[in-house]
Structure 1
């Protein structure tokens, strides 16, 4: 009988691209992972991996086995969720992956509420903007607070369930004394020096493609994924930034924000979990807390000053 843990290792190696990277994410030594994969190879009687430059790739047999492994591991997750649903109690641990731009206004309030409502639940939060949904499919995290830009292709992996939280536009941010705060056309930014995320990030790619669709290539004078740095550059009058509304403190001094009126760059913030027929009480509690924090933040923004 095939060992489920070895199937999970095979899936992790395929996703990470190397045994060393897989071992690091599994908190094991590379030797231990190699031994388990060698045992899996003996069980099936055929090579599952082959060298591919500095990485490894699946053989045809490895790809076939991985397809079945995905279904097997999904069935195991379904069983775990069903048992948790019968138990009906929120568990002791959960791991949340969240975007840096959501920490102040959504994640922190949600975790505070979880600590009050479910004191037995310890949530580990990974703040990252890289490959969150992949981590969810690998079981590294339980809930993802992620994003999808409306004008980019939807790349949500199979087996992932999305719960929409908020449509969050990017705002044009400038120094308070450099702009009127009126809505602007995206094309107007063709003459601006911009502070933008790297094009390898999802936000950077969204900005680049939106500008190309508007007929110009943006002048990326400052390239950084650090939103605090982008806002500092805008406040100093050195650049114009494009920053998600959720990441901007409405009371922050020295800056002025404006919406893009003709070609808005808008992201959907969502909570993502692995799909299961039976709701897992622990992940459901985390998603509910994120939804409540999002709703409260939106209410505060709409409240008259």
Structure 2
């Protein structure tokens, strides 16, 4: 159904005269008549009936005109929503890993107050979030990788770097002193059990790469999604594992710095290519990208 024709019908219902509709719309009376006749053919029903030398809307025409008011309003709302110059309005569906949600999304919520943009937030590991993005189940994925084990993103995604944080090695308190280069530090724990993520293999790849440089294969014994649980396992003497610098260490855990090479976690905002211009999404990604820095220097 051609919305321009529907607009003429709505105007006729309001003004009651094709001549007045023509004057208001800046067209000829003949054009108004032809377009409404075409609309009648599209809908398969008579929309006008003669009354002397004039016409009036049939009951079907009046019902369609009533619907037309709602339809045209929805079309205008859609135009405004997609207009890059308009005030951003809409719901942005976001999936991200827990640290990014706490560090990036939650502080952003306050800055969105007073706007017409809202966020729906779900916690997922990077692989899960990227699958949801590919399925159009979300609009924005917050994911991470490590510089020592970079993620290869598909061409259909646009990737915006956000921030970087240093990671160290969590070991039981009382272990040997740090201060060594990364490979030497890792080598000290070649005979220990290792703890890695249960839902993402990024840190396992880093551990494997560092251990390979030290000349051994790490013995992966435990898997945990929560960094708090990783600390609990370390404190219980069950193994060692990567932990973010700057996170408070609990009793029984010591964090050894990993330098040369540094172990850097990198956070990214990822959207489907071509959709970054949608005003609400552009607003959220733009504000996220302005908060980038390095944590734990």
TM tier relative to shorter chain? 0.5 to 0.7
- The answer for the alignment partner of 1:258 in structure 2 is 256
2:170 and 2:135 map into 1 onto residues whose CA distance is: 37
Give the secondary structure class of the aligned counterpart of 1:195.
strand
CA contact (8 A) 1:82 1:278 kept: no
CA contact (8 A) 1:199 1:205 kept: no
- Bigger CA radius of gyration: 2
In structure 2, the CA distance between the partners of 1:107 and 1:191, relative to structure 1 (3 Å rule), is: farther
Give the secondary structure class of the aligned counterpart of 2:84.
helix
1:204 and 1:236 map into 2 onto residues whose CA distance is: 21
- The answer for the alignment partner of 2:166 in structure 1 is 169
1:239 and 1:273 map into 2 onto residues whose CA distance is: 37
Give the secondary structure class of the aligned counterpart of 1:86.
coil
Higher percent of residues as helix: 1
Once the two structures are TM-superposed, the CA of residue 242 in structure 1 deviates from its matched residue by 0.6
TM-score, normalization by structure 2: 0.61
1:113 and 1:89 map into 2 onto residues whose CA distance is: 15
Give the secondary structure class of the aligned counterpart of 1:134.
helix
Quick one: which of 141, 152, 159 aligns to 2:138? Answer: 141
- The answer for the alignment partner of 1:291 in structure 2 is 289
CA contact (8 A) 2:195 2:223 kept: yes
Unaligned runs of 5+ in 2: 1-77
1:108 and 1:287 map into 2 onto residues whose CA distance is: 14
- The answer for the alignment partner of 1:111 in structure 2 is 109
Unaligned runs of 5+ in 1: 1-79
Once the two structures are TM-superposed, the CA of residue 249 in structure 1 deviates from its matched residue by 2.2
2:79 and 2:164 map into 1 onto residues whose CA distance is: 29
2:218 and 2:283 map into 1 onto residues whose CA distance is: 42
- The answer for the alignment partner of 1:268 in structure 2 is 266
CA contact (8 A) 2:163 2:291 kept: no
Once the two structures are TM-superposed, the CA of residue 164 in structure 1 deviates from its matched residue by 0.8
Give the secondary structure class of the aligned counterpart of 2:107.
helix
In structure 2, the CA distance between the partners of 1:232 and 1:135, relative to structure 1 (3 Å rule), is: same
- The answer for the alignment partner of 1:124 in structure 2 is 120
Once the two structures are TM-superposed, the CA of residue 139 in structure 1 deviates from its matched residue by 1.6
- Figure out how many residues of one structure are paired with residues of the other and give that number: 216
Give the secondary structure class of the aligned counterpart of 1:190.
coil
User: Larger deviation: 158-167 or 252-261?
Assistant: 252-261
In structure 2, the CA distance between the partners of 1:253 and 1:122, relative to structure 1 (3 Å rule), is: farther
- The answer for the alignment partner of 2:216 in structure 1 is 216
Q: Please list the CA deviations of residues 212-248 of structure 1 after superposition, one character each: whole Å capped at 9, or x if unmatched.
A: 3432111223222221110122234432221234xx5
